Structure 1
Amino acid sequence: MAAGGSTNGASKSTNGPSTSQNLTVLIVGGGIGGLTAAIALRRDGHNVHVFEKSSLARETGAAFHLAPNANGILRRLGIFAETIGANRMNRLTEYTHTGEQERSIDLTEPNKQWQHPWHLAHRIDLHNKLKQAATDSAGSGRAELHTSSQVVAIDPATASITLENGIIFEGDVIIAADGVHSMCRRSIPGCDVEPFGSGKSAFRFLVPRKRAEEDTETKKFVQKEGELTIWYADDRRVVMYPTSDNTILNFVCIHPSEDTAEISGENWDQTGDIDLLLQVYSSFGSDVRKLLSKAESGSVKVWTLLDMDTIKCWTNERLALLGDAAHPFLPHQGQGAAVAIEDAAALAVVLSRIKTEEVPERLKLYEDIRMERATRIQDHSRLMGKDRRDQGKLDMVGFTNYNFGHDEYDHAMQRLREWRWNRMPNAYWRMPIAFGPMPGPRQTHEGLVRVSDQSTFTTASIKFKTSRTVLQNLFPPGRSGWRFKDPGTVAYASFSQTTLGKMEWLGGSGYHHIGLYVHGVEYEKSDGTVVQGTYLPLLFESLTDPIVSGREELGMPKLYTSVDIYRRSSSYRIRTGWQGALWGEFHLEGLSEMDPSTEKGSISGEADAGILAYRYIPKNGFTNKGVAAEENVVWDAFEDATTTPRPNKILKAAKASFKIEPLNWDELPTLHHVISRLAELPVYEIMGAKVVEGVGVPDVSTSRPIE
């Protein structure tokens, strides 16, 4: 992007919008959402310009929540909140306004279900870190921060903005991160709405923790690090939590707006009054009022909590709204900044690998990805902010799971994949469809029939902890009913390799297979009943015959790979490849024999109830590409198997590891799209590994459509 200007008025940029996949992005607003978007977009190679009306000499505001859903995105971008003084949220304690404790919840144990921490951060510290990361000269892309740059007009059709001084900037896309009073929002038809007072206002101020610790009456409230404390009356509350390495106490005191109508405003810098603060909370216990009185004179700010009608559209041609410009939040769940950060991640994903002519449609995809979730969290926040007497029974655990159990980057990436797949004309879909349309001249739906009670098996498996969202993206795309049993962002899977021998239907010979088994999956049938098992998104085999049979007859998602086994007295090593190109290595070391009766396990390496898979058969005929002849969920319950595996030897590994190398299209011309997805699986922890030997191989003839 180039910018032109003169002292006499407006002038046009000379170069205009770019035509390559590296876009010129104009971001209006340099708050947390806008700067996060700048960082994410420049990392993708785009050229970014951020226009902020203030001088950014100092950022207003105090502390706020960095919940796991936001922290995961920031950490992916190289921003670690603990390095800027943020402290973990360890405990929630609630009192009545007169001081009776209602509950105190230790959050350290529940937080283990989230892959990323829950932090309490100082807004100024995070904002400074984001500014630094956005404008750092190192790294890919380019980002420039224009301060004291008031945007007065925009043109969504040409992605151009006009500054107060008359200078015009042109780009490929405009991101409006200009807050609840967004000027840009007026450029979206039907969205020229104004925020309104919610009926509540809030005092906000900071107090050094040391002041509370030195007072015998208030030190009891600050004994535990990372503790968020709330005192409730029917129509008002005081919220206190620490920040800045537990050295500063952040206060948010929410009350009816009429109590401070004469001084409250819509900005964060409306100066309040300590005497008025204490008057508003005169019904609270003396120890709480003593705590409030420790605010420094002139430091208390008070502002009206704003709400806004839900708007039906966030985009117009090359313009997209982000954060409060699209969905202002009441502060009652601490998700306002988090959802803006999620918006930024989604925008960066949908604008990746893009042609400039695709921008309007990609922005519509962004809106489709984000609107439902943002609106739902808005509604949750409104419910949480009701007067306590009007709240009724709220599903706080459900709200938290919905808020925290989400990785927007991986979620948006999957939605972008599906958008790309849906744009492919007459795509020929083949199993396994979780990876999109399959390359190759032809494909059938196959399965494995193993009928031999005396066949032998040796199964080596490695179980690991990984991302639930990445695994979830391997569910059959666009098909409902699939979910994980547990709501956390972590999940468990196994790579399991089996060598089969003495197979009668193969003339006494055998073959190898290796698959990814996703544990803890549920499928809800149309009648509401739920089947639990292990989901098998794909199974590699080293021989054509079982691949063809298994896919056509049983619905198992099989592909070819070579499997080489290197076994020694205390180690077991597996290499997988295609035509000499090796894509996988799996190592089990320090094997020692265990009592077979102490272990249970199946083909997946775990004691599963059965295997869930997805059957898909393309309709025959060249003119029917992209049309399914048959598709259904497949269930193989091990209790129904005609042959039960009989382990006679089990060896546990002292150490195990694996490595997936995606290579490239030239090296893996038919498999690169699959292996590259497997390589995306993060390994948080190896949970165990073993080798099981035995007799009796089920023929999988019990697999059937689940409904």
Structure 2
Amino acid sequence: MGSNQADGLSPGKLRVLIAGAGIGGLTAAIALRQQGHCVELFERSRFAEEIGAAIHLCPNANSILHRLGIDATKFGAVEAEKLREFTPSGEHLNTVDVKGNSAFWRHRWLLVHRAHLHEALKAAAQAPGSGIPAQLHTSSKVVDVNPSLATITLENGQTIHGDIVIGADGVHSSIRSKLPGAEHIFPFSSGKNAFRFLITRQQALDDPDTHDIAAHFGALDLWDSPDRRIVIYPCSNNDMLNFVCIHPDTLTKIEKESDWNQQVGKDALLEVFGDFNPQVVKLLEKADPQTLKLWPLLDMDTLPTWVNERLAVIGDAAHPFLPYRASGGAMALEDAVSLGVMLSGDVEPKDIPMRLKLYEKARHERATRIQQMTRDSGKGPIGPEKGKTPLNQVYIKSLTFQATEMIMYIYGHDEFDHSTHILRQHLWRQDPNIYWRQPIVFGPMPGPRQDFNGRSRASASLKSTFKTASIKFKTSRTLLQNLLPNNSYSFISPSTVAYASFSQTTLDRMDWLGGGGYRHFGLYIHGVQYKTASGNLVKGTYLPILFENLADPIVSGREELGMPKLYTAIDVHQRNQSHHVHTSWEGAVWGHFSWEDLIDEDPTGDTGTIGGTQDDGILVYRYIPKVGREFKGQPEAEYPVFVPHAQESKVVASRVMRVRRTKRARVEIDALNWESLPTLYHVIDRLAEIPIDEIIEGKIVEGEGVPDVSSAMRIE
């Protein structure tokens, strides 16, 4: 078995080697094959023995199965309907309506036979369907791993090469020792053992002494004392009852050579729990000695890390759980789906170590915290002080105030969504120069200067087209002076004569708009300079207002560049020798601009700047208000911005293809009234004040290559 390249896998598809084919390993295989990777599982056993126990599929676990296309009710899973709690003597403490609260969760709380779940996962991993079916090798014990090379060595000496190794080999993992800091971390007894067995529900129903306990389908029953606990719940279409009987390990003995699934006599079970309620003891007597098993409940110190280069561990290999919050299997499922998210179909082999660190980031803290919750939950009920509140009230109060937080944290979680968010945040941070603007929760914002992944659109902008129709006119400097934002801006010439242009540009074949385009219209005041605090002068054309007919460029220009943009409708009518522009808002026309008797001229030497005339660049003023009524009139940000044409041409060079000029150009602006222009009247009224002393020229310039304005810079 060779490497990714040697076996001819397509780029981005990984060879994944999984040691262990339990619940965690099989779920990881399903998640990773669905990403298109080539998955092989190596299981030390032959799956000859059925695991005789049931397992909870709490809402957070069931959501993962649904995500992978697995419906547990199709192989016997039943819904948990109620949780009943009793003292060892049989006194009823509390009943929780689990099914009645099911609307709180997106997915139901199910109870399933572990062997049935395992078979379903095994089938889903290997069946035809999404991705490449996983290969399962039984009787294939992994005895060594090379985290750097992603190789495994089997007991027979065979070495297998992959791109990544996943250790899902259980609580007694041999792979765990390959993790930094884990060399001396081993599982140890929690101080508790557990009897596990199943009986048919009919056995209990047929006995008058136990009928009442078994009569409630979907019920989870709990008999709890400070040191012992009996849990009974159904599975297999409500036909079977699963028993977990937890007790101090001093009361039973585990043989080292079979410490994970030891057969034990019924006498030991009855001796440990013989003083419990007679009905419960009668149920215990129905255990089949051939299937009654004794399991040690193992704990382990927290691993400092779950990953090492191209190796990761999941499930009990990373974090063995005590069976108090129905979370051992759920955490293995969450680990598996997290790996499926982090190792997406487009991941490259070089990215594997970082992606595994992201997996650990998503999972380590949560699993460690829930581990501690299960330890705390195994300490038994809180007893009353003598002469104080009865036990049942104390216990219910404890359940309400102590368990609610745990329930919300454990079950109110979807690991697919959580890991997806962490991966996205990581990918977004890879380019520190990406533009971010509202709404930021969806990631970097694509626009004229970048795509969603932060890649420049400059090369695509070379194919975009522009048509700029401008009317340059002579006007009053003293009036235009009032449109400058502060005293740092001034006209270069002290003359009372100034020059300005109304300029309308139509853009098309814009890559960032899917090949479409938009129009903008602005007032460009020529011959303006900005004086910095140090006395330096920045000269250019000042842009007090730019109207556009599409929201996307308005938002990107305002937020990324500080441009003074507003919306207006812009209609263009072009004929052979004439050009007409009408500007309006919701049907109220406020501007008419026309070019008549247009004559073609040699385009050589014309750069086609958006202001319609040659200058050093565009001056604008950025202003962002503070939020809050008490901050009215106060800026959050306020500073000058300059767009140098020389720098812009280096990013995207424009090529002028046609120039037409005329002396017959006309400007008509009617501010109408506040009712007609409720958001624009104050702007249009000021534009209408501008006197047109003389039309200098009308010009229409057409070409390719639209600058992306990425050279915009804050002056100071």
TM-score, normalised by the number of residues in structure 1:
0.62
SS of match in other structure, 1:342:
helix
1:383 aligns with 2:404: no
1:400 aligns with 2:433: no
User: Counterpart amino acid of 2:337?
Assistant: A
1:438 maps to which residue?
445
Q: Structure 1 550/197 Cα, relative in aligned 2: closer, same or farther at 3 Å?
A: same
Q: CA deviation at 1:309?
A: 0.2
SS of match in other structure, 2:429:
helix
Q: Structure 1 629/20 Cα, relative in aligned 2: closer, same or farther at 3 Å?
A: farther
Q: Structure 1 230/547 Cα, relative in aligned 2: closer, same or farther at 3 Å?
A: same
1:87 aligns with 2:78: yes
Alignment of 1:203-352 (within 5 A): 203-261=195-253, 267-352=259-344
1:363 maps to which residue?
356
C-alpha separation between the residues in 1 aligned to 2:442 and 2:566? 12
1:132 aligns with 2:139: no
User: Counterpart amino acid of 1:354?
Assistant: V
C-alpha separation between the residues in 2 aligned to 1:337 and 1:179? 11
The answer (yes or no) to whether the contact 1:264–1:303 under 8 Å persists in 2 is no
Q: Structure 1 545/248 Cα, relative in aligned 2: closer, same or farther at 3 Å?
A: closer
Larger radius of gyration: 2
1:372 maps to which residue?
365
Q: Structure 1 47/400 Cα, relative in aligned 2: closer, same or farther at 3 Å?
A: same
Q: Structure 1 287/429 Cα, relative in aligned 2: closer, same or farther at 3 Å?
A: same
SS of match in other structure, 1:153:
strand
Cα offsets for 1:30-59 (capped at 9, x unmatched):
000000000110011000000000011334
1:144 maps to which residue?
135
C-alpha separation between the residues in 2 aligned to 1:277 and 1:119? 27
C-alpha separation between the residues in 2 aligned to 1:544 and 1:342? 41
The answer (yes or no) to whether the contact 1:46–1:142 under 8 Å persists in 2 is no
Q: Structure 1 430/282 Cα, relative in aligned 2: closer, same or farther at 3 Å?
A: same
1:415 maps to which residue?
422
The answer (yes or no) to whether the contact 2:197–2:243 under 8 Å persists in 1 is yes
1:47 maps to which residue?
38
Alignment of 1:444-593 (within 5 A): 544=551, 548=555
Equivalent residue for 1:168, pick from 159, 164, 168 = 159
Q: Structure 1 546/361 Cα, relative in aligned 2: closer, same or farther at 3 Å?
A: closer
User: Counterpart amino acid of 2:302?
Assistant: T
C-alpha separation between the residues in 2 aligned to 1:413 and 1:545? 27
User: Counterpart amino acid of 2:88?
Assistant: H
C-alpha separation between the residues in 1 aligned to 2:17 and 2:559? 52
SS of match in other structure, 1:441:
coil
C-alpha separation between the residues in 2 aligned to 1:238 and 1:117? 24
Equivalent residue for 2:91, pick from 100, 104, 107 = 100
Cα offsets for 1:301-335 (capped at 9, x unmatched):
11210000001100000000101111110011111
Cα offsets for 1:164-223 (capped at 9, x unmatched):
111111110001000111111111121121100000110000011001001111011012
Number of residues paired by the alignment?
467
Q: Structure 1 17/365 Cα, relative in aligned 2: closer, same or farther at 3 Å?
A: farther
User: Counterpart amino acid of 2:359?
Assistant: Y
C-alpha separation between the residues in 1 aligned to 2:549 and 2:342? 37
C-alpha separation between the residues in 1 aligned to 2:566 and 2:106? 32
Q: CA deviation at 1:300?
A: 1.2
SS of match in other structure, 1:242:
strand
Q: Structure 1 549/409 Cα, relative in aligned 2: closer, same or farther at 3 Å?
A: closer
User: Counterpart amino acid of 1:386?
Assistant: K
Q: Structure 1 134/629 Cα, relative in aligned 2: closer, same or farther at 3 Å?
A: farther
C-alpha separation between the residues in 1 aligned to 2:104 and 2:372? 25
1:424 maps to which residue?
431
Cα offsets for 1:438-458 (capped at 9, x unmatched):
222369xxxxxxxxxxxxxxx
1:64 maps to which residue?
55
Cα offsets for 1:658-680 (capped at 9, x unmatched):
xxxxxxxxxxxxxxxxxxxxxxx
Alignment of 1:617-656 (within 5 A): none
SS of match in other structure, 2:287:
coil
Q: CA deviation at 1:227?
A: 0.4
Q: CA deviation at 1:559?
A: 13
Q: CA deviation at 1:267?
A: 3.6
SS of match in other structure, 1:358:
helix
Q: CA deviation at 1:388?
A: 2.9
C-alpha separation between the residues in 2 aligned to 1:412 and 1:14? 28
C-alpha separation between the residues in 1 aligned to 2:202 and 2:440? 59
SS of match in other structure, 1:235:
coil
C-alpha separation between the residues in 2 aligned to 1:14 and 1:552? 46
C-alpha separation between the residues in 2 aligned to 1:51 and 1:698? 72
Cα offsets for 1:93-130 (capped at 9, x unmatched):
01100011001111112111111111000000010011
C-alpha separation between the residues in 2 aligned to 1:38 and 1:559? 53
The answer (yes or no) to whether the contact 2:382–2:398 under 8 Å persists in 1 is no
SS of match in other structure, 2:334:
helix
C-alpha separation between the residues in 2 aligned to 1:698 and 1:93? 65
Identity %: 50
The answer (yes or no) to whether the contact 2:141–2:154 under 8 Å persists in 1 is yes
C-alpha separation between the residues in 1 aligned to 2:201 and 2:21? 30
1:567 maps to which residue?
none
Q: What stretches of structure 2 of length at least 5 have no aligned partner? A: 384-394, 451-547, 570-621, 633-674, 680-716
The answer (yes or no) to whether the contact 1:98–1:284 under 8 Å persists in 2 is yes
The answer (yes or no) to whether the contact 2:30–2:125 under 8 Å persists in 1 is yes
SS of match in other structure, 1:363:
helix
Q: Structure 1 629/280 Cα, relative in aligned 2: closer, same or farther at 3 Å?
A: farther
C-alpha separation between the residues in 2 aligned to 1:380 and 1:417? 29
1:112 aligns with 2:103: yes
User: Counterpart amino acid of 1:335?
Assistant: S
User: Counterpart amino acid of 2:363?
Assistant: R
Q: CA deviation at 1:259?
A: 0.4
Q: Structure 1 111/290 Cα, relative in aligned 2: closer, same or farther at 3 Å?
A: same
The answer (yes or no) to whether the contact 2:232–2:242 under 8 Å persists in 1 is yes
C-alpha separation between the residues in 2 aligned to 1:559 and 1:155? 61
Q: What stretches of structure 1 of length at least 5 have no aligned partner? A: 4-11, 444-540, 563-627, 641-694, 700-707
The answer (yes or no) to whether the contact 1:17–1:24 under 8 Å persists in 2 is no
Q: CA deviation at 1:550?
A: 12
Aligned-pair Cα RMSD in Å: 3.4
SS of match in other structure, 1:161:
strand
